[in-house]
Chain A
Amino acid sequence: MFYREAGQFKTSYLADQAIFPIRQDRIGLALILLVAFVVLPLTASGFFLSVVMVPLLIFSLAAIGLNILTGYTGLLSLGTGGFMGVGAFACYKLTSIFPDVNIVVWLLVSGLFASGVGILFGLPSLRIKGFYLAVATLSAQFFLDWAFVRLPWLVNYNVSGAIEVPTRTLFGIPVTGPNATPQVRYLVILCIVTLLTWFASNLVHGRIGRSWMAVRDMDLAAELMGIRLYRTKLLAFAVSSYFCGVAGALMVFLWYGSAEPGVFGIDQSFFILFMVIIGGLGSLIGSFFGAALIYGLPIILRGFVNGIGLEIAPATVEHLTFMTVGGLIVFFLIIEPAGLARLWQIAKQKLRVWPFPY
């Protein structure tokens, strides 16, 4: 009834090819952005911003990165945690060597280092695919993990082997370090994530995205049609690792504030991979859904159990959360194996003809 495109006429090809061809979608997006940029920073508590929103956005960004590689190009990767680590360590080195350059610049530049490493470890993808490629990227994960622990230069010879984030400011307001308020950190992350999501959306809807999808659907056919495989695949690795690298740098600088190398272990890679699978392979909005389900749901469940005033020991709550989230993942995958993004699409489709489906 409300969500219906009747009466919206497209008079140009450009309008017809828009990413959001329906007006209601555009209004919805504008509303979401308004809430995210204005309402939340003004009204939400510091706890909500720094515990729920900040991690959610960072994980979404990493999931978008992996989605570009796994969802759009069909290259299974288990190196996400390592690439995130490269971004974080690069950012740390850059800001300690050039402390006067603005931290936001370094956050964005550090992704390029991850990109380079990603290309290097993407080389095997030219010859192997599927599970075999997953094993090859697993080696990237293990190698990078090893390097973070073993190369003291990366942490400026800190005895505890951890990154400690110094205070950096933007327009005189602290962005990193203990004095940065949750609101500032949230807004910086939100700007970066919005910018990069917009960038990713343009990429995947354009020529490059189409060539990625052609490679995913059948690389032999894509090659015959004139798509150069090695370029396309390496570009996917580069872009994907860039996103993961920026996410890693954001995670350490604007969320943790300090990180041991263990943060970028294989667990992190699986965590992001699950987000992508649950959210929906080959969907940007799915990356956000996946992050919300895998990261956000346990927090909400914990808060809910505590909120209704039940006297349950925290360890029991933890176990319950594990079981509930696990059950929900199975449930969602059974009702829609293609992920939450597909569910969302179906819901929109149904809504379009609601309340008269015939």
Chain B
Amino acid sequence: MRLRTSVLAGALVAATVGVSALPAAAQDSIYVPLFTYRTGPFSGSGIFIAEGMHDYLEMLNQRDGGIGGVKLVIEECETGYDTKKGLECYEAVKDKKPVMVNPWSTGITLPLIPRAAVDKIPVLSMAYGLSAAAIGDTFPWVFNPPATYWDGLSMILSYIGDKEGGLDKLKGKTIGYIYLDAGFGKEPIPLFEQFAKDYGFTLKLYPVAATEMQNQSSQWLNVRRDRPNYMVLYGWGALNPTAIKEAVKINYPMDKFVSIWWPSEDDAKSAGDGAKGFKELNWHAVGANFPAIQDIKKHVTDKNLTQTDKNHLGQVLYNRGVYNSMLIAEAIRNAQKITGKKVVTGEDVRRGLETLDVDKARLKEIGLEGFTDAVKLTCADHNGHFPAFMQEWDGTKWVKASEPIKPDMAKVGPLLSAAAKEYVEKNTGWPKRTEACDKAS
């Protein structure tokens, strides 16, 4: 009996090993793996993103038969926002010639950054991951458009400055910063401290450990004691709804509570009416009134080709997933244009990303007119540092609350170069850029 079981187990192992070694992608298709998390503590945010990313690409498959006539093989890999599983996913997709990876977790992005150049797989970490990756000369394989967390912070501060009637009015004020105590939340602190010094405000830090995301009462007790004039939030997953709820509970004035671009409708909704006036940065529209998203409805959700809940279409994080997939698709299309090949590889798509130029006309063409600003990347700048606007929660939906705000590149730029330089110094033997720079097509 034991013998049989172990033989069976052995066969199982052998079968699996054999199977996983098989290439999945056929010759005449483009393999686009999506690292998603529909399970785990961050699934509250991850589900929307996964749906948006998957549905846009699936829509291209259904409506246009892929990109440039080549079908996309879309494969989701569940990471659960866990670095272990993310690396497992990476190893699993690596041999199937993916044209790029989207890790959707800073923890997974960091180990992939040095591997990208070796495995020739570009990493698109859209507005997350390592901010310094914006420096294309150092990180030719990593892209993080349309803005870094440092850009985001500078935009939040200029918004606050505007409200106060000038950044110099911040003198003597107190700004609180509540953040996920991990790479993502800690990254902006040096810049924040520099701003505090330059403009003369006091910075109060309220770190929230990843394990304590749903228990922030002690942090908010301190907020009540310190009474900061403004609160800035850098959270993800369960941290966001909890922070908003706690802020409502201590009657913190919501119009002075500003977040980076991650809270979703559900996050704000869960805090009830008290959350009205809560603000966050965003760089794309919400709502489903765009031809491309209507096409998703027509070709994908109405035909039940996806697991997406139909109500999710047009929500902020769903649209962010769509935006991410739009970048993927445009990069592939651009790569096809540059190389003249139909079936492109990771190396081609890297060039495609580097010369990515999605202007207003192109946005109109793909049915996303007015959805977002034009995106243009260069070899030196893999981020673009595009402006974002503030949106406000009105109790049922997000409404645009400001004009686009430009990041303060005079402050952010030097920090980025310094961070990139430091990264190279610490990683002795970091390869010099050898990839040629294409002319924008």
The residue on B at minimum CB distance from A45 is: B21
Which of these, B88, B117, B184, B429, contacts A51 with CB under 8 Å?
B88
Q: Does A256 contact B (CB under 8 A)?
A: yes
Q: How many A-B pairs fall under 8 Å by CB?
A: 144
| A241 smallest CB distance to B (angstroms) | 22
A262 and B38 contact, CB distance less than 8 A: no
| B149 smallest CB distance to A (angstroms) | 10
The residue among A167, A179, A259, A314 with the most chain B CB atoms within 10 A of its own CB is A314
B210 and A265 contact, CB distance less than 8 A: yes
| A125 smallest CB distance to B (angstroms) | 25
Report B178-221 residues with CB < 8 Å from chain A CB.
181-184, 186-187, 189-190, 207, 209-211
Across-interface contacts of B78 in A (CB, < 8 A): 314-315, 317-318
Across-interface contacts of B249 in A (CB, < 8 A): none
Stretch at the interface among B104-112, B261-269, B293-301, B318-326: B104-112
Query: Can you list, as one digit per residue, whether each of A131-162 has a CB less than 8 Å from chain B (1) or not (0)?
Result: 00000000000000100010000001011111
Q: Does B77 contact A (CB under 8 A)?
A: yes
Query: Can you list, as one digit per residue, whether each of B77-110 has a CB less than 8 Å from chain A (1) or not (0)?
Result: 1101001100110011011000000000011001
Across-interface contacts of B91 in A (CB, < 8 A): 46-47, 50-51
Q: Does A44 contact B (CB under 8 A)?
A: yes
The residue on B at minimum CB distance from A260 is: B107
| B58 smallest CB distance to A (angstroms) | 13
B19 and A303 contact, CB distance less than 8 A: yes
Q: How far is the CA of A118 from the CA of B12 in the complex (A)?
A: 39
| A77 smallest CB distance to B (angstroms) | 19
Q: How many residues of A contact B (CB 8 A)?
A: 52
| Contact flag A160-B186 (CB < 8 Å), given A265-B210, A303-B16, A318-B39 | yes
Across-interface contacts of A51 in B (CB, < 8 A): 87-88, 91-92
B426 and A96 contact, CB distance less than 8 A: yes
Q: Does A21 contact B (CB under 8 A)?
A: no
Which of these, A45, A259, A304, contacts B15 with CB under 8 Å?
A304
Q: How far is the CA of A256 from the CA of B111 in the complex (A)?
A: 6
Across-interface contacts of A303 in B (CB, < 8 A): 16-17, 19-20
Interface residues of A (CB under 8 A from B): 44-48, 50-52, 55, 96, 99, 145, 149, 156, 158-162, 164, 166-167, 177-179, 255-263, 265-266, 299-300, 303-304, 306-307, 313-315, 317-319, 343, 347, 350-351
Interface residues of B (CB under 8 A from A): 2-3, 12-13, 15-17, 19-21, 36, 38-39, 76-78, 80, 83-84, 87-88, 91-92, 94-95, 106-107, 110-111, 113-115, 117-119, 130, 181-184, 186-187, 189-190, 207, 209-211, 307, 419, 422-423, 426-429
